[in-house]
Chain A
Amino acid sequence: MLKGSLRKLLNALLLMIAVLVLNFTLIHIAPGDPVEALVGEMGGATPELIAELRSRFGLDQPLYVQLGTYLGRIAQGDFGHSLYYDQPVTALIAERIGPTILLVTTALFSAIALGTVLGVFSAQRRRSVLSHLVTVISLAGFSAPVFWVGIMLILLLSVSVPLLPISGMSSADSAASGLFYILDVLHHLVLPALTLALIYLAFYSRLSRASMLEVLGSDYIRTARAKGLPKRMVIYKHALRNAILPVVTFAGLQFGQVISGAVLVETVFAWPGLGTLAFESILRRDTPTLLGILFFSAVMVVVMNLVTDVVYRRVDPRIKAR
């Protein structure tokens, strides 16, 4: 068991190193001078600066030495410098990662919770209104571009009916603190979280319905019924816990896509997280920042996978035994 966890951690570490190697490779196979790619094609790159960077990155060295130095710098927490913001990339990311985690977890957990409820109920009555609703939601959610859904929600809930703020994470004029600040942030959180959640609601309601249908047809559910257990015990004790297993698996697997969705949603709502930072980095061709964001997002995915793994062990006893 402990050995298994250790292997999982090692695997996670290897994945992160692989992301870094990929970053490095991309910079070097991209057309043009890697330094130019690193500093971005912005006016600020003077010849002196380029020369300085060239020696600093040891670009005259063989590639594997450069890779070594690159990884070494990363190991020391040096992800480079954003020339646009004139700040270390790590500082920028540290500032922006909190809002992203807030948005992503709110959206993902509400989507999973509501999606499971919808899926579980609709599975019990295959031809009910609810069941058709799940079909419609899942089709629409799969087909609609998330950023467009966000804009439509703004038009609906901020413009037509001015209930919710259009953008940002807090009101610019408010010097509110404590509880009021939290409420203000939550007020701003509703729309972006709703947008992102709607898309994943589509996925999780469909997944949990399919899973529930399969479980309800299984032999052990027949056993549970033959034992004379009341319906609620059959559904909530025996079926639900099994039906939820694929949901847990996918929550981990899909996290990369959820972050990607968050990039688009944050951009729409100017939510001050990694996604908006990524969008700004593209506009400014700020490569070091973008690569840093890619790395830290991958770290978040890996961490999420580890969390999922722990949860899975708790729900499925068959895993523990291995």
Chain B
Amino acid sequence: MNLKISNNQITYIRKANLYLISLTLLTFIIGLYFSLLVSPPDYIQGDSMRIMYIHVPSAWLSLFSYTILAASCVAWFVYRNPIFNLIAKSIAPIGAALTLIALVTGSIWGKPTWGVWWVWDARLTSMLILFFLYLAYILLWQSISNQETASKISAALGIIGFINIPIIKFSVDWWNTLHQPASISKLSSPSIDINMLIPLLIMTLGYMLFLITLFLIKLRTEIIDQKILRLSIK
């Protein structure tokens, strides 16, 4: 892989990370203060719905990460610059972790709300499949020993997965309406109260910063890895 990234640029990433980490922590502290203490409890679900402030941002960002992953795979096909494959590779485990967080918190939230840990709700099921799409991408990359081939092949899988997401969403929704009348909806009120929206947005910002920080750390490691690999081949 022919990476055109200077060592200076790598150092910038490291320096930026120091600021990002503190900013992330700060946003999380503010966000958690607002969501756990300031925002009012839900009039039906009580305090148990506060998990929404963890659950919803991770669900949003897990989809966002996959979009980034697929976008960088497409960018690789267009520009043939290997950095895009490294971006996709770096964001995949973070996205998978976010999906897992969304699934676990969703399930914890489900226990007091629905009385069971898991229901075959359309959104939960789609998220579960998304998790396996991430997993397939990561595992495929890992199982091909030639790094260059691995990056190019995984890029194809990333795009196939992305094409599949709306299809899965559509079919799972369709399946859900067929098998269960839409009796369960998580957010009891259609329009969300402003006192809940603000902490939710702060938490989303916190998650976003967290995502960027982790992503940059991972990307930096990947770039250095590739550089070492190239040196050892020459």
Asked if A pairs with B, the answer is: no
Residues of A within 8 A of B (CB): none
Residues of B within 8 A of A (CB): none
